[in-house]
């Protein structure tokens, strides 16, 4: 290898290491020092690394006014900034956070005129309110890469260029390129990058043994790739003995000295398979948001958060719980609010605004702060909600100025999952309690009574049991679709002594026509099953049973005391809720049971076989319930 190639490789590796260091800067003195050095360094000379550092630190520290000015300065600065994938990545995510349409448009135009691809394109394109240019540009980049692959494999394109085209498809999450393109990719030399891409294609096609073998081959070439271990762990759930496979992967990772940072997905999977809920939830203490919270709150989280969570003992004057994750998680964990209330003179909790009235009715001696979230694929950045006093984006995504100020006056601060951990730890045996069936959320009495009568009025035979159906969430992509049912999957149940009501949000035309043919009662002309949580609580309380997948209406029904049957058509629904040796009782959702394929059917069986196995078991349950009525 020539001196120039060796030098270029050394520079590339050094920049990659420095880039990872930049991503690791989140708060505290290191971030402040990095910002100081970047600003002053850029006064002396232009540098893509310093430019990216400045944007990332301002983004992380939630200094949005400075971030806006800096982004425009860099976007209109030297041309090399717009040729740097690292800088463009930082500018793109910042423009999205700022909701700066002009800056977004400029970034998209720049990406369109280069060969660069950004993994943010597909991700942001799925978000609520996303600039339409994201999806269009992602498609354009995909077509360009596919065309280059067709030309390059047939011609004399270099190995590195062929690999780069495959990487572009991977970054854009194009894992269904079609047979012709895939045939060409299979001719590209099997580097770790190419093997990982082919493994992800196999995952999309649900060829789980092939995916395992391809990931294994990729690891043989790049044994330090942490993400590959995590992805193999997910594949293991579909194969025989997932706990053993997961443990073997962890042992292999340890023996290879693979560096890990943040939340350890693979270790978390092992804990869930072992039904060790406390260890699993404590592991989340390694997330970035927990590290930021420790730097911001100091002693206030020294015994209440993540790995540091301790049992309750003496009465504490004031506690604050930061709500995070999705609204379904908030509903589940709220079952523990009364359990920890007795340990605080005053307890304050942030929550999604749509849950505020329901929570205040159900837990009248707790103070709730409604906070619009600013994170995830459904992110809607509303700068009318003041967050400028919060020193980091990880907290600003979950709190506003008012709730943040309240949290600073608390004696103990914790995240929402810490509530369950500390409640369990305080019990005599320090283990999650046995099954409880009592409802813990209280719907509006007048609306609950209304729906009792209204469902009766709509039924063809009021003596039958009332069954709610929900088959998917509102966001569907290839990865999520594997976990969802389809409405006509429930057709075998319609010969039973029951009437079925859709509690599905965002029903499309095909689903409605299918449901009407089957005899489903649709309620969404009167109920907003996506945003009106009070009404969802009232209508689901009038049902006798809910069948489907875990989404907000499903979790709400369980919370108001309705038995819920989860259709674990994918293994995540089984293993992560039951553990490797668990029975049907759902460890996550009170009043829930999990139904999964029974032998000889397993998760390698065709989808229809899995559906038939699950629905036949649920049919027997419904028959017994109807007979006992």
Spans of the chain below 70 pLDDT: 1-28, 113-159, 374-384, 430-435, 580-582
Residues 480 and 622 grouped into a single domain: yes
Q: Are 268 and 282 spatial neighbours (Cβ–Cβ below 8 Å)?
A: no
Tokens 């309240």 belong to residue: 406
Q: Are 19 and 51 spatial neighbours (Cβ–Cβ below 8 Å)?
A: no
Residues 362 and 501 grouped into a single domain: no
| Domain final position from 368, 395, 426 | 426
- pLDDT value at position 384? 62
Interatomic CA distance for residues 332 and 326, integer angstroms: 10
- pLDDT value at position 52? 92
- pLDDT value at position 378? 40
- pLDDT value at position 379? 43
Q: Are 120 and 92 spatial neighbours (Cβ–Cβ below 8 Å)?
A: yes
Tokens of 414: 């914790």
Q: Are 514 and 488 spatial neighbours (Cβ–Cβ below 8 Å)?
A: yes
Which helix (DSSP H) or strand (DSSP E) does residue 262 occupy?
Answer: none
Q: Which residue range is the domain that position 328 belongs to?
A: 282-426
Interatomic CA distance for residues 470 and 460, integer angstroms: 21
* Dihedral, 95, 98, 102, 104 alpha carbons, nearest 10: 30
What CATH number is associated with residue 509?
Answer: 3.40.50.2000
E strands along 365-423, which residues? Answer: 367-370, 412-415
Residue 202 contacts by C-beta under 8 Å, 6 or more apart in sequence?
Answer: 208, 210, 211, 214
Residue 244 contacts by C-beta under 8 Å, 6 or more apart in sequence?
Answer: none
321 bridge partner residues: 349, 414
DSSP 107-173: HHHHHHTSS---THHHHHHTSTT--HHHHHHHHHHHHHHHHHHHHHHHTT--HHHHHHHHHHHHHTT
- pLDDT value at position 123? 57
What's the distance, Cα to Cα, between the start and end of the chain in Å?
A: 79
Q: In what order do the strands lie in the sheet containing 367-370?
A: 367-370, 344-351, 316-322, 412-415
**Strand 412-415 relative to strand 316-322, pairing:** parallel
Interatomic CA distance for residues 593 and 55, integer angstroms: 47
For 259, list phi and psi in degrees, rounded to 5: -70, 135
* Dihedral, 85, 86, 91, 92 alpha carbons, nearest 10: 60
DSSP-assigned letter for residue 585: B
Which helix (DSSP H) or strand (DSSP E) does residue 513 occupy?
Answer: helix 509-518
In a domain, 417, yes or no: yes
Residues 286 and 386 grouped into a single domain: yes
In a domain, 493, yes or no: yes
In a domain, 512, yes or no: yes
Tokens of 539: 């209508």
Residues 422 and 452 grouped into a single domain: no
Q: How many domains does the chain have?
A: 2
Print burial letters for 597-619: b (CB count within 10 Å at least 16), e (below 16): beeebbbeeeeeebbbbbbebbb
- pLDDT value at position 127? 58
Residues 539 and 397 grouped into a single domain: no
| Domain final position from 392, 426, 460 | 426
Interatomic CA distance for residues 615 and 610, integer angstroms: 9
Interatomic CA distance for residues 443 and 441, integer angstroms: 7
Interatomic CA distance for residues 107 and 423, integer angstroms: 48
Interatomic CA distance for residues 373 and 399, integer angstroms: 7
Residues 540 and 455 grouped into a single domain: yes
Residues 463 and 421 grouped into a single domain: no
């Amino acid at each position: 290898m020539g001196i120039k190639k060796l030098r270029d490789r050394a520079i590339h590796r050094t920049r990659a290491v420095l880039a990872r260091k930049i991503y690791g800067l989140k708060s505290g003195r290191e971030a402040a020092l990095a910002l100081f050095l970047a600003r002053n360094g850029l006064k002396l000379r232009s540098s893509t690394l310093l430019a990216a550092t400045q944007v990332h630190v301002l983004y992380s520290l939630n200094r949005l006014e400075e971030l806006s000015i800096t982004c425009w300065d860099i976007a209109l600065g030297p041309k090399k900034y717009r040729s740097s994938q690292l800088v463009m990545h930082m500018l793109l995510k910042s423009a999205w956070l700022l909701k700066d349409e002009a800056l977004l448009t400029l970034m998209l135009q720049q990406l369109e005129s280069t060969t660069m691809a950004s993994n943010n394109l597909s991700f942001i394109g799925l978000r609520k309110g996303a600039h339409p240019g994201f999806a269009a540009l992602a498609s354009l980049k995909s077509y360009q890469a596919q065309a280059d692959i067709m030309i390059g494999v047939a011609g004399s394109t270099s190995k590195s260029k062929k690999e780069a085209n495959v990487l572009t498809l991977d970054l854009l999450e194009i894992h269904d390129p079609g047979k012709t393109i895939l045939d060409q990719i299979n001719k590209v030399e099997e580097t770790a990058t190419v093997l990982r891409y082919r493994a992800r294609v196999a995952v999309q096609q649900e060829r789980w043994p092939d995916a395992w073998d391809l990931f294994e081959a990729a690891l043989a070439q790049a044994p330090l790739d942490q993400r590959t271990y995590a992805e193999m762990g997910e594949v293991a759930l579909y194969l025989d003995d997932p706990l053993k496979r997961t443990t073997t992967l962890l042992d292999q990772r340890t023996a290879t000295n693979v560096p890990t940072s943040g939340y350890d997905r693979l270790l978390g999977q092992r804990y869930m398979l072992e039904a060790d809920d406390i260890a699993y939830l404590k592991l989340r203490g390694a997330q970035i948001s927990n590290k930021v919270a420790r730097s911001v709150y100091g002693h206030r989280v020294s015994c209440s958060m993540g790995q540091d969570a301790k049992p309750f003992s003496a009465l504490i004057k004031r506690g604050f719980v930061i709500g995070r994750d999705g609204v379904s998680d908030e509903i589940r964990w709220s079952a523990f609010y009364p359990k920890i209330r007795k340990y605080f003179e005053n307890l304050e909790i942030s929550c999604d605004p749509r849950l505020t009235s329901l929570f205040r009715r159900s837990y009248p001696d707790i103070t709730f702060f409604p906070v619009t979230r600013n994170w995830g694929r459904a992110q809607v950045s509303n700068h009318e909600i003041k967050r400028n006093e919060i020193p980091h984006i990880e907290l600003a995504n979950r709190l506003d100025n008012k709730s943040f100020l309240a949290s600073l006056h608390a004696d103990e601060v914790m995240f929402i999952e810490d509530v369950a951990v500390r409640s369990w730890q305080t019990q005599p045996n320090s283990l999650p309690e046995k099954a409880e069936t009592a409802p813990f959320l209280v719907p509006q009495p007048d609306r609950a009574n209304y729906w009792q009568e209204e469902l009766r009025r709509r039924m063809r035979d009021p003596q039958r049991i009332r069954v709610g159906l929900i088959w998917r969430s509102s966001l569907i992509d290839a990865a999520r679709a594997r976990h969802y049912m389809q409405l006509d999957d429930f057709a075998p149940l319609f010969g039973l002594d029951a009437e079925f009501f859709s509690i599905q949000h965002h029903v499309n035309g095909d689903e409605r026509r299918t449901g009407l043919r089957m005899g489903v009662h649709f309620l969404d002309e009167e109920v907003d099953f996506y945003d009106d949580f009070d009404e969802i609580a009232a209508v689901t309380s009038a049902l006798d049973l809910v069948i489907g997948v875990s989404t907000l209406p499903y979790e709400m029904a369980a919370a108001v005391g309705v038995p819920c049957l989860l259709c674990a058509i994918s293994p995540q629904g089984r293993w992560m809720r039951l553990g490797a040796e668990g029975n049907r009782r759902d460890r996550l959702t009170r009043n829930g049971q999990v139904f999964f394929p029974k032998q000889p059917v397993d998760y390698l069986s065709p989808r229809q076989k899995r559906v038939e196995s699950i629905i036949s078991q649920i049919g027997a349950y419904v028959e017994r319930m109807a007979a006992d009525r």
